[in-house]
Structure 1
C-alpha cells in the first residue's frame, strides 16, 4: 500500500481485515477500485500486508471467517464447523448438542435426555 505522505508516495503495510493489490494507494475499502483496499474473501482471513483476495489462509475446521476478518473466529457452544473455509458456524440439529467452544461436530444427546 502506498500513501501520499509529505507529497510523495510512501509504502506502508496494508492493514488487517483487507488485502491490497500492488499499487493500492488507500486503505479505504472500495470493491470497484484496484487502487483501494479490498475485503478478503469469505471463508478466509487477512492479516496485515495481505496482497491476495484469498488472504492469509482459509479458515481451519473449528473456526469460521465472515468477509473481512483478520483472524479466524471461534465456533461457539451449540454450533460446529467441520471443514475449512466456512463463513459461519452451523447450528447443532435437534437431538444433538455441542457444549464446548471449537466443536468440529455435534454429539448425540444421551439416552433419556432431550437437547
Structure 2
C-alpha cells in the first residue's frame, strides 16, 4: 500500500501508518489534517452520523432541533446537542434552534413541525403552549388563527 497525503474526512498524526477517521459528530472536506481537533464540528441544523465524513450526513429531522456537533438526526434531548422541539415552538427539517409559534398559533405538544391555529373565540400571542387562558375579550371577535392581544385594543 502506498502512502500519500491525508485524505478528506481523516487526520494523520506524526507516525501514522493508516489515516484515522474524523470522529462521529465531525467532518472534514480538507486534506492534510494532523489532529482530530482539526476536524470540523457538524454545523447546527445538520447531523454527522458516521466517522470519516467529508460533509454532514444531512439535515436534522422534522420535529427536532440539532445544535453543533450532533451525531443523530433525532437527538435524544440533551440540551447541549438538541432534542425534540419543545412546546410553544416548531421545528421544520434542518432546525438549529426551535422557532417560537407565531402569534395566532400555539403548540401544546413536543416534537412538532408546525404550530396549531388558534381556535375561534380565542386569541394567541406569540410562543404559547395553550390558548385556554386567552379568551377573546368583550367587545372583540376572534376568528380562527387570531392574534389579537389586549395591547391592540383601542385606547379611548
Higher relative contact order (CA 8 A, sep 6+): 1
Q: How many residues of Structure 1 are paired with residues of Structure 2 in the alignment? A: 106
Q: Deviations over 1:31-70 (max 9, x none)?
A: xxxxx42111111100000001213211111111111111
> Is contact 2:62–2:113 with CA below 8 Å preserved after alignment?
yes
Q: Deviations over 1:49-98 (max 9, x none)?
A: 00012132111111111111110001111110111111111111222211
TM-score by length of structure 2 reads 0.60
Q: Point out where structure 2 has 5 or more consecutive residues left out of the alignment.
A: 1-25, 76-81, 143-156
TM-score by length of structure 1 reads 0.79
Q: Within the alignment, does 1:53 sit opposite 2:76 as a pair?
A: no
* Residues 11-30 of structure 1 mapped to structure 2, 5 A cutoff: 11-27=39-55
* Larger Cα-atom Rg: 2
* Residues 1-115 of structure 1 mapped to structure 2, 5 A cutoff: 1-8=26-33, 11-27=39-55, 36-55=56-75, 56-98=82-124, 100-106=125-131, 107-115=134-142
